[in-house]
Structure 1
Amino acid sequence: MLKRLAYLTLCACAPLDAAPSIDESRLSQLAADRYWISLGHYETAKLGGWRSYVDDRRFFLAEDGAHHPDQELRATVAALYAPASLGDKHAQCVFPARTRWLREQLQLTDLPAPDCKEYTQWYKDVSPHSAVMIFPAAYLNSPSSMFGHTLLRIDQADVQSNETALLSYAVNFGAYIEGNDNSILYAWKGLMGGYPGLFALVPYQEKLAEYRSLENRDLWEYRLNLTPEETGRMVEHIWELKQIQFDYFFFDENCSYRLLELLQVARPSLDLTSQFPLTAIPTDTVKAVKQSGLVERIDYRPSRERELLERAKPLDASEQQQVLTISADTTQLQSPAFTALPRERQALIQDAAYRLERYRANGQERDPARTQRSFELLRAINRNPAPELDIERPGLPEDGHQSRTWQLGAGTREDRAFAEYGLRMAYHDLNDNAYSFPLGAQIEILQLKVRQYEGNDWQVQRLDLATIRSMTPRNTLLQPWSWQVTGGLERVLGKHEDEVLVSHVNGGAGGTWQLADELLGFALGTVRVEHNNDFAEFISPAAGFNTGLLWRNPLGTLSLEGKGDYFTNGEVRRSLSLNQQWELSRDLGLRLSAKREFSQLATAQNELMLELKWYYY
């Protein structure tokens, strides 16, 4: 920051070399050019005019350059003629992408020649030749990664031939967080723009370790067909954005949206960001990049967790128990129970034990005992290696259903018919088309449902701010917790045989188990806090349960769920529901829902609805 301030001061004070007289109409034309708009990260303001997404005074040379691209262009042209003695603080060194473009457009052949040592060395180190878009798959246990993430890898000319991608650099945009904000505070600040966003250029090996090992996420690598010239143009602009702050919003001005802007700088003919006026879900941006014709190849890197589970898949229960035993005590490699096994079974067990040890070491401080166990297991593997893993590539993330959903339903509640209209901004529930989504994962943000009963009686049925459920099955080797959290408004049974709209926050934790192929069973204990006008107290707490089955079948996905809430004021509320979705196409589903609800305040109610769901973005 001090360097940028010093640079601006020097530019203001230093005498400029004679700048050529440039036709005003030409400058105005360039200021409206798509490429200049991309370099300044401008968008059309709500009330007309322009505004830049950049929220940092240091990025602009004109006093009001954030709102006037024409003023910023004129100030940049003038700054290019500052004395060369400014060195690394010269505009040509600070803004190489602007400099190159203006030199070409205006044929500026008489510019000073400052010595840009820092930029020249940095560009040489990066040595851009080609680019790869990286998509770490969604990871529910990290609030910043629930929807997945995108970043860019900048490769040198010999990366593909020498297979040295780990030596490349990664371009990442993310929220800059100071302190130790908890998950709830992080989510709130992320939604409301409470964090600044920054670009960072880091070794790709660091990012690969973070996403693939520490967070156990599959990685998808989309090799882009950018030319060396286009890649270099993008990297020039990345230098201009070093330590420059943007506003960061979880759903739109996020990692994926910012990377789309970089790609538009690389190839000015692209128009990617206009497709995302409201939200920029990472999977949707991947689809947009692919549809633009940028992707020439897709590579898949499974996570350590997936590799471990794949290795353990052919092992029976007793062999998986031996994996646990040997990973804890490598002397068991010489035990009669292990040595009596066929060599091919021994190879699978010791390989799985090694992978389990490395999995457990993720994110932990170095443990000498664990290191020694890993070494012993590696020696055993070297003597009797297991076959190479052959992991079937799952469905491509971008081939899943679209993220936004319109819903139209018709049904009956007791003796009253109704129509229901709904909109969900993002992005997947337990019964949605599960292709390329893990079974048991649910992330819903901002869902509104409105009902129209007979007699033109309208009412808000529910408004969900967020509903997140992670139903990851437990097994012999891994014992993850299942959990859920939701909050918003919903209709519940109330006094006078009527429904009342209540506000609530609830969550729970428990376990999920794989009962058969594509069949999960889960059981969670829950807590709920509710504001209900039928209750005497302002806030009423409750404890309860949520249990059920989830089955991916030939038609789609079926769920059977039982819930109960036991309030401290004596109210008992229970429900039993069944949902079956038919997948008519990737982005069209038909769902049958049946529910029976019980309450101490009213008689039991039955509801049946058929609902059409259209997914789009």
Structure 2
Amino acid sequence: MKLFCIALLSILASPVWSASNNLFRWQADIERLAVDPYWLALLHKPSVKSNSEIIDPGFFLSGSDDSRAELTATLAALLAPVAADENEHAQCRFIARSHWLQQQLPQLSILLPKVQCDLFNRWSDHQQIESVSAIFASGYLGNPASFYGHILLKFNSSAEKRALLQQQNINFGAAVPDNQNPLIYIVKGLAGGYNAVFSYGDFYRNTQTYGENELRDLWEYKLALTPAEMQQLLFHAWELIGRDYIYYFLKENCAYRMAELLELVIQQRLISKRQPYAMPISVFHRLAEIKHHGRPLVAEIIQHPSRQKRLVAGYQQATDKMQQAVAAIIVNNYILDLEEFQSLNTSEQSQVLEILFDYLEFLNISDDSVQRTQQKNQLLRARLRLPPGPQTRLAFNDAAPHLSTYPSLLQVSWIETEQKPALEVRFRATYYDLLTANRDKAMFSALSMFDLHLRQQNNSLQLYRFELLNIENMNLSQTGLPEDGGLAWKVNFGYAAENLACWRCQTVQFTGGIGKAWQVNNAMFYVMQDGRLHQNQQYSGVLSTDSRLGTVFELDTVWRIQLEFGYRAYLGSAAENFVWYRLQQRFGNSQRWDLRVAVERQRSTEGRLAVSYYW
């Protein structure tokens, strides 16, 4: 009998019995907490009955994403004895769950075994987080995944050993094989053919990738979060690192996931869940609008300029004599024994060398040769012979991304034609065209996707035009130095009328173009040669070309004009070639509205008055 009593007491005192007993006593709390919106958010379940958006089985202790089963399994794991590797304990692996459950079940804190989460503590600098920043990387036309920009989160540590570039940041992206064909990437990305994960790294790695290699500006939005909110965000970010999601290029992308993570702590929507696409810039528009604890959520905005932006600013802010010296040194294979350079004072010579360093690093992106290294060494030796001095302070007057025009467009147009007037409704999911207001003045380019035109004419409603993708990059030189800028190019895939005289002769078309553009003050001039593959409509054949000459210029910040002339030639068909022209004007510089007036001639003439709303 005595042995039986001792055995019973041992069982009752065991951790397994204690955990089971506590779970039994917490049944009512478990039922309540299992449907709590915050618990569902930690599991990334939109609702109790829906599946989790995380597909990684290692994220679920119960073996399923059932919210009640996972809550029970989490409590049992938190109460379980500590194994040899403390970092594998649930208190370290699921630190956000642990922290929240201790707030909901105060007695839980007393029952938890003591653990030291060394991996998390080292990663978070022992939670010495001073602030959190959302980072916007501007768009990059060299990669379909980056057309519309990118979002990072940066944890700004107060630890003295952490310099700016060593701050920890969180990234979200698809796991794409190296050298993946862009077309395959787009198709698989649209169809959910890739997994994606949260990853982490030092901020300098992203400044190198985005700012130095891809020439993208980084914009840092410091957020006014409380210490408790920063801790909450840090805890859940740790839980998500390395967890697999399905990646969708249009919606469940970096914008969607980073917004979801921030929404966890600010408790306000950053991006619409009903909208079929998500864009990084939309998150920053929303961040700038939000009041949090009675004050703006965005506390400070900092620009981290790209290598190209630093080169352009340094060159444009230099004196004429210094610019002449830079150009002369480049033309003469970096020989410094030139009158243009030697006539400068030491401060001016130092600034010229800084510009040349930026220029060579800019060239290294496409041509990292031994000769470039020798040229840099030559400049470095020259700089060491000059007395020390402060680095040149450059002024960057770029407008922050959230001040740009909103990305999505709804437009209503009244159209006068040579037949009957028409009413047209246009929806463009993204992003901007050559007339769009509130963009970097040096960025003469167009980038749009899913541009739909519905036209009501002759008591008939029809799909008049649809562009799945349109990119036009003028690739301008901003300094005039050799290899700054290059060939202009265009890619367009859509469904459009062959000309304005035949409004029911739409064809599927693919257009590619190449040319050259020049900027003069606030005006841009260009010549382009386009080739078009299309369906045979009205004996047009399947191949035609457009030779174009055009200009885009501003008479005022509220008035931008595009004028374009072209000659269309049909190859290998009986269709008649023709000359065409287009004049478009945009009035207004609001982020939300503008008015557009256009006249276009393609065998027939149309006039258009359009009111545009952006969101």
State whether residues 348 and 386 of structure 1, in contact with CA within 8 Å, keep that contact through their aligned partners in structure 2: no
Counterpart CA distance in 2 for 1:219 and 1:30 is 40
Question: Which runs of structure 2 are paired with 1:564-575 in the superposition (5 Å)?
Answer: 564-570=567-573, 571=575, 572=577, 574-575=579-580
Q: What is the aligned counterpart of 2:276 among 273, 278, 298? A: 278
Give the deviation of 1:615 after TM superposition: 0.6
1:74-113 matches, within 5 Å, as 74-85=72-83, 87=85, 88-107=87-106, 108=108, 109-113=110-114
Report deviation, 1:318.
8.5
The offset of 1:134, in angstroms, is 1.2
Distance 1:385 1:415, change over 3 A: farther
Partner of 2:424: 420
Decide whether the 8 Å contact of 2:131 with 2:156 is kept in 1: yes
**For residue 583 of structure 2, what is the aligned residue in structure 1?**
578
TM-score w.r.t. structure 2 length? 0.87
Please give the alpha-carbon distance, in whole angstroms, between the structure 1 residues aligned to 2:130 and 2:589.
44
Q: Given residue 551 of structure 2, which amino acid in structure 1 is its aligned partner?
A: L
The residue aligned with 2:437 is 433
Is the Cα–Cα contact under 8 Å of residues 50 and 69 in structure 1 kept in the other structure?
Answer: no
CA shift digits 1:137-184 (9 cap, x unpaired): 22333322221211111121246xx88211211111111111311333
The alpha-carbon deviation at position 498 of structure 1 amounts to: 5.5
Listed one character per residue, the Cα deviations across residues 24-48 of structure 1 (whole Å, up to 9, x for unaligned) are 442232122232122111214xxx9
Partner of 1:218: 217
Q: 1:359 aligns to what SS in structure 2?
A: helix
TM-fit CA distance, 1:560: 0.9
Q: 2:361 aligns with which of 358, 361, 370?
A: 358
Kindly provide the CA deviation profile for residues 357-386 of structure 1, in whole angstroms up to 9, marking residues without a partner as x: 222234765734133123134336x44969
The residue that corresponds to 2:50 in the other structure is 50
Give the structure 1 partner of residue 11 of structure 2. Answer: none
How big is the shift at 1:588? 0.8
Deviation at 1:341, TM superposition (A): 5.3
Q: Is the 8 A contact 1:35 1:268 kept in 2?
A: no
Check conservation: 1:358, 1:374, Cα contact below 8 A.
no
Name the structure 1 match of 2:236: 237
Distance 2:191 2:51 in 1: 19
Q: Does 1:460 align with 2:459?
A: no
Q: Distance in 2 between matches of 1:134 and 1:190?
A: 23
CA distance in 1, matches of 2:578, 2:84: 73
Change over 3 Å in CA distance of 1:490–1:413 after alignment to 2: same
1:397 to 401, 417, 420: 401
Tell me whether 417-426 or 128-137 shows the greater mean CA deviation.
128-137
CA offset digits 1:273-292 (Å, max 9, x no partner): 44663332111101222222
Alignment of 1:190-339 (within 5 A): 190-265=189-264, 267=265, 269-274=267-272, 277-292=275-290, 293-313=296-316, 320=323, 322-327=325-330, 332-339=335-342
Amino acid at match of 2:588: E
- Out of 506, 509, 512, the position equivalent to 2:511 is 506
Structure 1 segment 14-53 matched on structure 2, within 5 A: 18-19=19-20, 20=22, 21-44=24-47, 49-53=49-53
What's the offset of the Cα at 1:186? 2.5
The 1-side partners of 2:515 and 2:500 are apart by: 29
Matches of 2:151 and 2:176, distance apart in 1: 18
Whether the 8 Å CA contact 2:500–2:606 is kept in 1: the answer is no
Alignment partners' CA distance in 2, 1:283 and 1:16:
53
Partner of 1:5: none
- What RMSD over aligned residues (CA atoms) do the two structures have, in Å? 2.9
Contact 1:508 1:527 in 2 (8 A): yes
The verdict on how the C-alpha distance between 1:28 and 1:401 changes in structure 2, with shifts beyond 3 A counting, is farther
- Residue 257 of structure 1 aligns to which amino acid in structure 2? Y
Most deviating of 355-364 and 338-347: 338-347
Q: What corresponds to 1:547 in structure 2?
A: 549
Residue 10 (structure 1) aligns with: none
Match of 1:6? Answer: none
Whether the 8 Å CA contact 1:137–1:148 is kept in 2: the answer is yes
In the alignment, what sits opposite 1:482? 488
> Equivalents in 1 of 2:260, 2:378: separation in Å?
47
Q: Deviations over 1:436-462 (max 9, x none)?
A: 5754121111111011113x1222110
Judged with a 3 Å threshold, the aligned counterparts in structure 2 of structure 1 residues 574 and 244 are, in CA distance, closer, same or farther, namely: farther
Q: Distance in 1 between matches of 2:390 and 2:100?
A: 56
Structure 1 distance, partners of 2:30, 2:41, is: 16
Cα distance in structure 2, aligned partners of 1:501 and 1:29: 58
Cα distance in 2 between the residues matched to 1:40 and 1:364? 47
Q: Secondary structure at the match of 1:141?
A: coil
The structural deviation recorded for 1:116 is 4.1
Code of the residue aligned with 1:509 in structure 2: it is I
Q: Is the 8 A contact 1:134 1:153 kept in 2?
A: yes
Q: Which secondary structure does the structure 2 equivalent of 1:250 belong to?
A: coil
Write the distance in 2 (CA, Å) between the matches of 1:436 and 1:52.
40
Kindly report which structure 2 residues correspond to 1:444-455, keeping only aligned pairs within 5 A, or say none: 444-454=448-458
Task: Say which is worse superposed, 555-564 or 459-468, in terms of deviation.
Answer: 555-564
Residue 36 of structure 1 aligns to a residue whose secondary structure is helix
- The residue aligned with 2:59 is 59
Distance 1:487 1:437, change over 3 A: farther
Over residues 499-538 of structure 1, what are the superposed CA-to-partner deviations in whole Å (9 max), with x where a residue is unaligned?
40100111212221012x210011222222112343486x
1:469 aligned residue (444, 468, 472): 472
Cα distance in structure 2, aligned partners of 1:481 and 1:209: 25
Q: Secondary structure at the match of 1:307?
A: helix
Deviation per residue, 1:368-427 (Å, 9 max, x gap): 4133123134336x4496982332321111011211111100111213111111111112
The 3 A distance-change label for structure 1 pair 514 and 384 is farther
Per-residue CA deviations over 1:171-209 (Å, capped at 9, x if unaligned) read 111111113113333233333322211111101111112
Counterpart in 2 of 1:8?
Answer: none
- Shift, 1:124, TM fit: 4.0
Deviations 1:542-576 (A, max 9, x none): 34333310112313221112334433323435531
Identity %: 26
Distance 1:197 1:387, change over 3 A: closer
Map of 2:12 onto structure 1: none
Q: In structure 1, what is the Cα distance between the partners aligned to 2:115 and 2:360?
A: 54
Structure 2 residue runs of 5 or longer lacking an equivalent are: 1-14, 291-295
Contact in 2 for aligned 1:134/1:221 (Cα 8 Å):
yes
